[in-house]
Structure 1
Amino acid sequence: MMRNSREADGFEGEAASTSMMSGASSPYQPTTEPVLPGRRLNLRCDPDYLRSTLGALKVLQVLLALIAFICIETVKECLPCGGLYLFEFVSCTAFVVTGVLLLMFTLNLHTKVPQINWNLTDLINTIVSTLLFFIASIVLAAMNHKRKGEIAAVVFGFLATGAYVVNSYLAIRIWRMSSSRQAAGQGSEYTRARSESRGEVESRPEIQRLEE
């Protein structure tokens, strides 16, 4: 009986070791892959930006550009049409670009792309839109046919030009302030690095002897 039990134990041990070896060498082993958390785009409206001067100007610019575009679209006949087409292109482009920037700043999407200098981007947009709206409004005023749609478009075009002028002034101030802060930060980092290196030299007299 003892021999039979020993043989049974030995057989079970061999079977267990064989199953472990076969399980280790089996290509059909269960694998566990790490589950990566999905990236979510957290959209958060910033009411403080809309209440600020720049936010209010952006909303005003979008509304004026949209109204100017609608007014020029009511004109059905034109000869020549160069001034009308130019004003139509400028008002539509300003509405789209400024509207996109307004959404970016309002929803804080610009923080997701820190590689872009958004202050400089806003400055370029406002300056270009100011010049284009001013030129298009003057051309349309000189080439209009005294129709109500054209007159209204010219009025809203000059109003949009004024809104973009104020925004350009504020954007230039913000851009200068950010540039000066960056320059001051780089200067402080350079000064700190020089002071740290000087302190290291003073703490190591062998370096001073080598320099002498």
Structure 2
Amino acid sequence: MRGAAEELEGFDGEASSSSMISGASSPYQPTTEPVGQRPGLRGLRCDAQYLRGAPGRLKVAQTVLALISFICIETIMECSPCEGIYFFEFVSCSASVVTGVLLLMFCLNLHARIPQINWNITDLVNTGLCTFFFFIASVVLAALNHRKGAEIAAVIFGFLATAVYAVNLFLAIKNWRINNQQQNGRQTSDYMRARTESRDVDHHPEIQRLDG
């Protein structure tokens, strides 16, 4: 009986070792990484801190005001002349779409997945263009409107959108200057450190010989 038991134990040991070897060599290994912590899904979350900050609030206000301006201008059924209305319609529609896309990119951290694009410059250019064209479109519509309710509402929301875009433009330019100054300061400090190290090597050639 003892011999049979030893044979069974040896068989079980060989079977367990062979299963461990086959499991280690199998390409279908179970992963222990949680699904929620994978890099592909980690960035898909709403950044509440961005929405609570000044850039997020301004971006939401810009999108809402541009959309309301577009809705107001779309309710006008008759126009003469129509050039001012068509131009205001194009500006408000383009601003609401582009600003809304940028809001989603920053809010969901999707911009971090495309580092090839300088999103700060993109946002700065969009804010500057929307400020300029919204102001021009609002002035033209105010000069050519016929005192209809929808036209007056569109002009009011157009100027409000212009003001919000202008505030965002001011803050964006300020942050851009601060980032450039910090980057230039880091480059200058790195350059001075490299020059200091090279001077130390020139004044102490024994350090270079020891390194060699």
Give the alignment's TM-score, normalised by structure 1. Answer: 0.77
Q: Which amino acid in the other structure matches residue 71 of structure 1?
A: C
Structure 1: unaligned runs, 5 residues or longer = 1-30, 208-212
**Which residue number in structure 2 is paired with residue 137 of structure 1?**
138
User: Could you report, residue by residue, the CA deviation over 1:154-201 in whole angstroms, capped at 9, with x for unpaired residues?
Assistant: 000000000001101100100000111111111111112112222222
Distance of 1:196 and 1:110 partners within structure 2:
38
Residues 69-92 of structure 1 deviation map (CA, whole Å, 9 limit, x = unaligned): 000000011111100000000001
- Following the alignment from structure 2 to structure 1, what is the Cα–Cα distance between the partners of residues 41 and 146? 50
CA positional deviation for 1:118: 2.0
Counting aligned pairs with the same residue, the percent is 58
Distance 1:75 1:51, change over 3 A: same
Q: CA deviation at 1:206?
A: 9.9
Give the alignment's Cα RMSD to 1 decimal.
Answer: 2.3
SS of residue paired to 2:40: coil
Q: Does 1:57 align with 2:26?
A: no
Q: 2:93 — aligned with what? A: 92
Distance in 1 (alpha carbons) for counterparts of 2:88 and 2:103:
22
- Equivalents in 1 of 2:205, 2:114: separation in Å? 44
**1:1-212 to 2 correspondences below 5 Å:** 40-42=40-42, 43-204=44-205
| CA gap 1:195/1:206 in 2 versus in 1, 3 angstroms | closer
Q: Which residue of 1 aligns with 2:11?
A: none
The 8 Å contact of residues 127 and 164 in structure 1, kept in 2 or not, is answered as yes
> Is the 2:201–2:207 contact (alpha carbons within 8 Å) kept by the matching residues of 1?
no
TM-score, length-scaled by structure 2? 0.77
Contact kept, 8 Å, 1:119 with 1:174, in 2: the verdict is no
Structure 1 48/206 Cα, relative in aligned 2: closer, same or farther at 3 Å? closer
CA distance in 2, matches of 1:153, 1:32: 63
Q: Any idea what the Cα deviations from partners look like across 1:61-111, whole Å, max 9, x if unmatched?
A: 000000000000000111111000000000011001111111111111222
In structure 2, distance between residues paired with 1:144 and 1:191: 62
CA distance in structure 2 between the aligned counterparts of 1:54 and 1:177, rounded to whole angstroms: 16
Instruction: Find the aligned partners of 1:197 and 1:168 in 2 and give their Cα distance.
Output: 43
SS at match of 1:40: helix
Tell me how far 1:39 sits from its aligned partner.
6.5
Aligned to 1:28: none
